[in-house]
Amino acid sequence: MFNSDYTSSSDTMNILDAVGEFHPSSKFNVWFGRFLPPSDRANLYGPFYSNEWDVYSDGVQDGYPFVFQGRDNGVAYWGDFKEGFVKIKASAGTFEGTSADGRNALIWAARVQLDFWDPESGYYLNGTYYGDKNLLAIAGATQVQSGKTATTADFLMERKVLNGGAFTIESEYSRYNGLGGYDALYPKSEGAYGLASFLFPKPIGMGKVEILGKYAIAEFTGGGVGAPSYRQNTAEVNLSYVIKQFDARVMSFYRNASFNHVDANNWQAGVGLQLQLSKTFSLLTK
């Protein structure tokens, strides 16, 4: 598997995934190279397959260390299992620390996910399936490096409704204890968010309308002298026109971030177009 991504700030193409794969069965798969380590759902779906537009701005989602776009260099095992009515997805691996966070120590990573309704096959995930699946998924993930940890628990429920619509709830809890996080001055942070969306079943022209709301709280601590602890509250609202799921969608968003210390309150609004021309090329504009 090989995927690349254009970075507008540096006007360069960068490697997303460069993976050698060994797949003797669905229960035993080994990847080696550059890819997303076992981590939270938000990292495993990335910006192109998230349900919201302004992802990774809340101090909660995907605070794990990385080389580029959530990726790191290493090797991992993953497998899909079925035990009665529960589907289990498990993964574990070890990854380079030097390139991800500058520490000369390996990062050990693991994730376990339980799917109680429809299964999610494969390694990478989605933030929504736009009504293609009925999902009830609960997962936990952790990464460890020299006693420092990053730990998350995530939840996704999605139900098909009204013959073509979808109702989705997503949430996550995160705790970064010396590893990862959003603010380099604060080695410890903890937070959670809740997200709900509704895809209207009746098409309007070429696509369907989706509304989405999200609220997150994150606490940053351990900054030492001159760096007081602070809290970030983030609210986001999206109104989207979904033409061909992730291959073609127009998304408008409003995000408001407020802080009780350190940073200034801010807000952002915009309209974005996402077009995916193939499985290996994506165009995302804001």
Q: Which tens digits make up the pLDDT trace of 207-262?
A: 999 999 999 999 999 998 889 999 999 999 999 999 999 999 999 999 999 999 89
First to last CA, the chain: 27
Q: What is the 3-state secondary structure (H, E, C) of 201-216?
A: CCCECCEEEEEEEEEE
pLDDT band of 279, cuts 50, 70, 90: low
pLDDT of 280 over the 60 cut: no
Residues 6+ positions from 28 with CB-CB distance below 8 Å: 77, 79
145 near 105, Cβ under 8 Å? yes
CATH architecture classification, 2-285: Beta Barrel (2.40)
71 near 107, Cβ under 8 Å? no
For residue 148, the tally of other CB atoms under 10 A from its CB is: 18
The full set of domain ranges for the chain reads 2-285
Q: Supply the pLDDT for residue 4.
A: 75
Q: What is residue 45's DSSP assignment?
A: H
91 near 38, Cβ under 8 Å? yes
pLDDT band of 8, cuts 50, 70, 90: low
- Closest alpha carbon to 111 in 77, 160, 149, 83: 77
Nearest-5° angle of CA 44, CA 50, CA 56?
80
pLDDT in tens, 63-104: 999 999 899 999 999 999 998 999 999 999 999 999 899 999
| Mean pLDDT value across residues 119-133 | 96
pLDDT in tens, 33-53: 999 999 999 999 999 999 999
* 171 vs 173: CA distance, rounded Å: 7
pLDDT in tens, 141-158: 999 999 999 999 999 999
Average pLDDT along the chain: 94
| Mean pLDDT value across residues 185-208 | 97
pLDDT band of 12, cuts 50, 70, 90: confident
Q: Supply the pLDDT for residue 13.
A: 82
